[in-house]
């Protein structure tokens, strides 16, 4: 990352120069929002593809609306900035793009009003966030933050302490990741990814009103499943349903599509990657790398 180029306060610069003060409002109070966007490098074509970039920036602007942050760019302009940033970095490998909007004044005051906003983007080489062949997860003792406390549908920087606490406990207990329950005791999502389970051939996922992020990968997986003839249902999921599910998987920009093979010490299905998960993972990665002509509209090529 130290040698990469960033975009900050309207200019392209070395990432090491894109700095903020220790007194910055967002650093002190978590008053920022962000996105995570993947870019996939197709080595055969020697081509980099940015996956569903416009949808990510649309969600960023929705997060900004909730936090009363003003970004002086349209979705189209944000996409143009990001493509230029990718050209300047010229990574010939998979990469992760991090746009960040935040309250930038140097002030001690807990509010969202009357404070300067700032925006920046940086990019880093990025491989697998979790093993694609399967992970072990535990149900977290930490409850997923309720939407009436911190908006779940906004990617708020400060809210990720909820994730950090939960996933750190999972790692300390020897697991790869954790699963959040909401205030009603229903399954919400993984530490940083949406959750699906398969029961009797139906792909089931919690509704967006169960305190989960409105995931772009989630929507992609649901569409790919329907195209493959798999029935998709959105409904509440009980914790114990995960123990008797045929398959469980996580889906998100960072994790991509990952099977969960064990939950709370209980084997999921046969303890390996299930058939529906395998098909969805293959379909997702084929689309992301530009190998599936059906969803070229999901990609923006970096020429």
Burial class of 236 by CB neighbour count within 10 A (0 to 12, 13 to 18, 19+): middle
Set 87, 103, 155, 226: catalytic member: 155
- Whether residue 120 contacts residue 245, with contact meaning beta carbons closer than 8 Å, is answered with no
Residues with Cβ < 8 Å from 300, sequence gap 6 or more? 49, 50, 53, 54, 79, 83
103 is catalytic: no
**Would you please indicate which residues are annotated as catalytic (active-site) residues?**
155
């Amino acid at each position: 990352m130290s040698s990469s180029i960033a975009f900050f306060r309207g200019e392209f610069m070395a990432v090491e120069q894109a700095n903020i003060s220790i007194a910055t409002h967002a650093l002190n109070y978590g008053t920022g929002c962000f996105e995570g966007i993947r870019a996939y490098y197709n080595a055969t074509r020697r081509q980099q593809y940015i996956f569903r970039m416009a949808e990510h920036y649309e969600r960023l602007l929705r997060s900004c609306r909730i936090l009363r942050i003003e970004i002086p760019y349209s979705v189209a302009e944000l996409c143009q900035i990001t493509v230029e940033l990718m050209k300047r970095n010229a990574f010939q490998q998979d990469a992760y793009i991090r746009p960040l909007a935040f309250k930038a004044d140097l002030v001690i005051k807990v509010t969202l009003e009357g404070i300067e906003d700032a925006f920046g983007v940086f990019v880093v080489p990025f491989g697998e966030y979790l093993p694609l062949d399967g992970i072990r997860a535990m149900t977290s003792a930490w409850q997923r933050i309720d939407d009436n406390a911190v908006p779940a549908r906004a990617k708020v920087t400060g809210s990720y302490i909820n994730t950090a606490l939960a996933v750190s406990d999972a790692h300390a207990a020897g697991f790869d990741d954790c699963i959040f329950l909401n205030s009603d005791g229903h399954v919400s999502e993984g530490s940083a990814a949406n959750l699906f389970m398969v029961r009797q051939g139906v792909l089931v996922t919690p509704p967006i009103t169960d305190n989960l992020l409105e995931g772009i990968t989630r929507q992609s997986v649901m569409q790919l499943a329907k195209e493959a003839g798999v029935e998709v249902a959105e409904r509440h999921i009980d914790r114990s349903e995960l123990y008797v599910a045929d398959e469980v998987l996580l889906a998100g920009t960072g994790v991509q599509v990952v099977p969960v093979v064990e939950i709370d010490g209980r084997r999921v299905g046969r303890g390996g990657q299930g058939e529906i998960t395998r098909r969805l993972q293959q379909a997702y990665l084929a689309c992301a790398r530009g190998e599936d002509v059906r969803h070229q509209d999901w990609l923006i090529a970096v020429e």
